[in-house]
Chain A
Amino acid sequence: MRFFGKTDINFVEFRNKAFIISLVVILIGLGSLLIRGGPDLGIDFEGGTLVQIMFDKAVPINDLRGVVRKAGYENANIQEFGQNNEYLIKVEEIKEGRIAAAKLLGALNSIAPESDWEILSIKEMVDDLSGDDKAGNLIVVKGRNIPPLETLKEDIKESGVGVTAATMETENRIAFNLPFQGIESKAADKLKAEISKSFPSREITVRRTETVGPKIGEELKKRAWAAIVISLFGILIYISWRFEFRFAVGAIIALIHDILITLGIFSITGKELSLVVIAAFLTIVGYSLNDTIVVFDRIRENFSIRRRESYNRMINISINDSLSRTIVTSFTTLIVVLFLFFIGGEVIHDFAFALLIGVVVGTYSSIFVASPVLVEWQNRIAKARRSKA
């Protein structure tokens, strides 16, 4: 059996329309991102707490919302699934810089009350990947007749406020580094306690809780970026080595295209980015690349055996040659991803959703984006040569 025999569809001719379609989809996504002020980051990156709870019988969401408010989380995000009996509650982490600053000021006032201490700025610093230990709350204070820094630092430690570093900025200004306090909110415990108190007749199962401190969140954000950038860079080098630089550029443009579209669709559908979703993004990168390489490989091969055809024609032949394989592989991958999406369960749902978009968009981009970029590249070079001559 086969879907179709030897094809000769003019994909290359279609490229301008394809570029416009892609551009429109990407712009819609970017527009949504712009309106929403960037992608919706989950607690993995923002810090915060998530509690997934299951009741033995349905409980109205408004009742639960009231209880969560009673526990002190006015702005909690509550999501329901199942038959009104399973809920996901998300609470954002409070920023702790102010708390740390208040503590520091209290200590300073008790150590040297006559200095008229004043807080100038509070900033939460995160670890960069260099491994220097700079993370923490950076608090700059002002004061008169400041006592010697070393003794002041020791005194602050003595009074029970942790200080990792202190530097004199000017004669009457000091910058203190205070360590992050970590999770003080204990939101998960409070939520669980309040919910089991408020629904005494219901059997409650705590399915999952996750709490991520703001420091870890920032770190994970940096790691995710690093992962995406490094893998794109690695790909650029590998393809430049195995093929040519312009192939690498074509592949990277296609990958960025895929990621932007997926990101846009996530934004439009209001889904959050979590660590697992980023993993899915990188998988999309891998998958789409797989498709692209297969076509590229064919292009490389065709160039080495038939030199008489035009550049456009060669690329078109190559896409058509590998079309059958592209469709079959996309189809089998799509099948398993669909199963994952529909019956894989709630936890993996967003992951599967990202893959679903990725498989479709990745297949499209390897045909309509990556190879046409080569054509454009070639045409521009030819034009430049002609105008020179």
Chain B
Amino acid sequence: MKKDLRTKLIIVFLVFIGALYFLYPTFKLVTMSEQDKEKMRVEKPEEFDKLMNKSLKLGLDLKGGMHLVLEVDDSKLKEEEKKDVVDRALEVIRNRVDQFGVSEPVIQKEGRNRIIVQLPGLQDAERAKRLIGETAMLEWRLVREQKELAAVLKRFDEVLVMEHGDSIVEVQQQPADTLGEIPALSEGVQDTAGADLESARSDADSLLLGEPDRAGLGNIPLETVNKEKPFTSLLFRFYRDWVVVKEDNIERVRRLLSRLEGMGVIPEDSDFMWFDEWVPLSERGGRGKFLFLLANDEMVSGKNLNNATPKPDPQAPQKLLVQFNFNRTGARHLASFTGNNVGRFTAIILDGKIKSYPVIRSKIPSGRGVIEGNFTDTEARDLSIVLRAGALPADMRIIEERSVGPSLGRDSIRMGIKAALLGLAVVVLFIFVYYKISGIIASATLIFNLLIVFGLLAYLGAALTLPGLAGVILTIGMAIDANVLIFERIREELNKKKTVRSSVDAGFAKAFTTIVDANLTTLITAFVLWQFGTGPVKGFATTLSIGILGCIFTALVFSRMVFDFWTRSGRVKKLSI
């Protein structure tokens, strides 16, 4: 018996010390002033990291921050590309987040094709999403020359007339809007300025007859201005090596292009691509877009970038552009690409969008280039980050996003702790009134249990979430139950006029199976919750489970030990219970 008691004492002591040991870093961190923390962060970063690591971690819902679930869309990839696409995407995202500068980010794979990203303490959610989700595929592609483009366009007319001559619908537009004879287009080659463009052709009122078909779910009618030249009559004019399409006709041209692509008329080695910004066509407000024919066999990909930085635009210092550097391989490609194509236009394309279309003045041996665009400070910086970190191997979709502002997190902690302390105080008071000195033992058991819960959480590195905090509070109410069971049994035994000593023994013995059964069944539901829950719910299940285990231990070992010490001499004739 005595030996048994000593073993219990040692176990309880070890658990107690262990809980305190695991909680010490948290205690130190919480009691440290902000200045001290800052000082330590700067002076002893390693020690600080260690302290942070060993402290009780808070979930995003308490700390504030952002939780993203991304899905890798490999449906557009070929089979052999699909294999390690998620791992590659994970690597790229990790790079980007690292450069973004968030402390303690979590980036991990989940399931087959998902990635979880957690960014604690983040303020600008939109920016973070852009930074993570942007594919950042950079390409330089050669713009096909005007005569090549003209030949393709001419063929379009022929093919369309031949294949669909009967089904073409004419819409009335002023003929002056249209391109005119193809052979006479050479005037456009001259390097006309933007001003010239604006006054180029009269922007006569181009009225459409009937509503354009936007349903998308029916067949696409072939609408054009001139049946003889179904394609070119929709174009406004040539400008350098590309064509201008007026706003009214853009949708029609798009449709025709996708149909022509289906017919296999677009040359294999080229693609059509729009420049996404509007260009003014006249003083009266007409506008249009540029349509380029780009080579897909003569190009340099941005795979081999090794650096990218925001720089002020030398021509307009208030504007920013992003300068990038290729590595040796990339630089070699760029040098031969530019060397072979001096005087030609290229398009710099980011994520399928033309960013700019500079002319190649000379060979570029340095491997350096710039991306123009009306970038703001942050935009330029973020673009640099994503270019440096590399392109994502596939499109990413955000399928879940949760973010909590730091103020709400702080409020939650404050209110949670308040509820916990008040609840604890009232429960302790009640249990003392109800069970007197035994009630104090029960309260000690309860506090010991809380120590174990927090200590284990810190040790396991499991984050405390708001539902987790609620779980702790609930544990306060429920952990007392084991003691209540025991005490009620002891009271019953005492009522049977048994001695204190044997009443205590019988009380514990009889309550034992009840406590184990009752708690194990609760543990079943807690385990299921842990298995199926995500994030905060998992946190709740974790604290609940630890609370239950702690409850069994403290009631059956700790509480028992205290009672044994109290009553073992046999001198206690009346138990305060």
Contact = CB atoms under 8 A, between A and B. Distances in A.
Nearest to A333: B477
Interface stretch (B169-177, B396-404, B558-566): B396-404
Contact of A234 (B61, B217, B258, B524): B524
Interface stretch (A16-24, A29-37, A63-71, A160-168): A160-168
Interface in A59-100: none
Interface in B247-284: 258-259, 261-263
Contacts of A28: none
A189 interface: yes
A273 B61 CA distance: 19
B493 interface: no
Nearest to A278: B537
A242 B533 contact: no
A212 interface: yes
A105 B537 contact: no
A345 B263 CA distance: 63
Nearest to A214: B399
B488 A324 contact: yes
A119 interface: yes
Interface in A125-183: 131, 133, 157, 159-160, 162-164, 178-183
Given A209-B403, A211-B401, A347-B61, A109 B474 contact: no
A163 to B, nearest CB: 6
A226 B533 CA distance: 11
A336 B473 contact: yes
A8 interface: no
Interface string B474-496: 10111011001100100110010
Given A213-B400, A215-B399, A332 B415 contact: no
Contact of B474 (A54, A227, A294, A336): A336
A343 B520 contact: no
A322 B484 CA distance: 10
Interface stretch (A261-269, A285-293, A368-376): A285-293
B510 interface: yes
A235 B518 contact: no
B213 to A, nearest CB: 12
Contacts of A133: 112-113
A279 B529 contact: yes
Contacts of B395: 162
Contacts of A178: 75
B419 A340 contact: yes
B261 A159 contact: yes
A104 to B, nearest CB: 10
Contact of B528 (A213, A227, A332, A351): A227
Contacts of A157: 75-76
Contact of A182 (B399, B424, B470, B521): B399
A227 B436 CA distance: 41
Interface in B375-407: 395, 397-405, 407
B528 A211 contact: no
A107 B261 CA distance: 10
B403 A238 contact: no
Interface stretch (B93-101, B149-157, B426-434): B426-434
A340 B113 CA distance: 38
A378 to B, nearest CB: 21
Contacts of A209: 125, 401-403
A328 B484 contact: yes
Interface string B426-452: 110011011110000000000000000
In the complex, which of the residues A109, A224, A239, A352 has the most CB atoms of chain B within 10 Å of its own CB atom?
A109
In the complex, which of the residues A209, A275, A279, A301 has the most CB atoms of chain B within 10 Å of its own CB atom?
A279
Interface residues of B, number: 89
B467 interface: yes
B47 interface: no
A121 interface: no
Given A113-B220, A340-B419, A182 B427 contact: no
Contacts of A208: 402-405, 408
Interface in B496-551: 510, 513-514, 517-522, 524-526, 528-529, 531-534, 536-537, 540-541, 544
Contacts of B401: 183, 188, 209-212
B145 interface: no
Interface in B217-263: 217, 219-220, 258-259, 261-263
Given A157-B76, A207-B408, A282-B529, A329 B112 contact: no
Contact of A110 (B259, B478, B544): B259
Contacts of A163: 75
Nearest to B421: A339
Given A188-B401, A213-B399, A344 B419 contact: yes
B184 interface: no
Contacts of B422: 339, 343
A317 interface: no
A325 interface: yes
Nearest to A53: B405
A248 B533 CA distance: 25
In the complex, which of the residues A131, A188, A344 has the most CB atoms of chain B within 10 Å of its own CB atom?
A344
B525 A101 contact: no
In the complex, which of the residues B261, B402, B470, B541 has the most CB atoms of chain A within 10 Å of its own CB atom?
B470
A189 to B, nearest CB: 5
Contacts of A285: 525
Contacts of A227: 528-529, 531-533
A249 interface: no
Given A131-B112, A344-B470, A347-B412, A332 B477 contact: yes
A116 B478 CA distance: 67
B334 interface: no
A223 interface: yes
Contacts of B474: 283, 333, 336-337, 340, 355
A159 B258 contact: yes
B216 interface: yes
A109 B540 contact: no
A52 interface: yes
A116 B217 CA distance: 11
B262 A111 contact: yes
B259 A289 contact: no
B427 A336 contact: yes
Contacts of A111: 262
Given A105-B216, A234-B524, A297-B514, A340 B423 contact: yes
A102 interface: yes
Contact of B544 (A105, A283, A325, A335): A283
Which 4 A/B pairs are nearest by Cβ-Cβ distance?
A182-B397, A162-B75, A110-B258, A333-B477
21 contacts: A1-B433, A105-B217, A109-B258, A109-B262, A110-B220, A113-B219, A211-B400, A211-B402, A227-B529, A276-B467, A289-B518, A289-B521, A289-B525, A290-B481, A332-B481, A333-B478, A333-B481, A335-B423, A336-B474, A339-B422, A343-B418
Given A211-B398, A279-B529, A340-B423, 7 more contacts: A6-B495, A206-B405, A211-B400, A329-B481, A332-B477, A335-B423, A335-B427
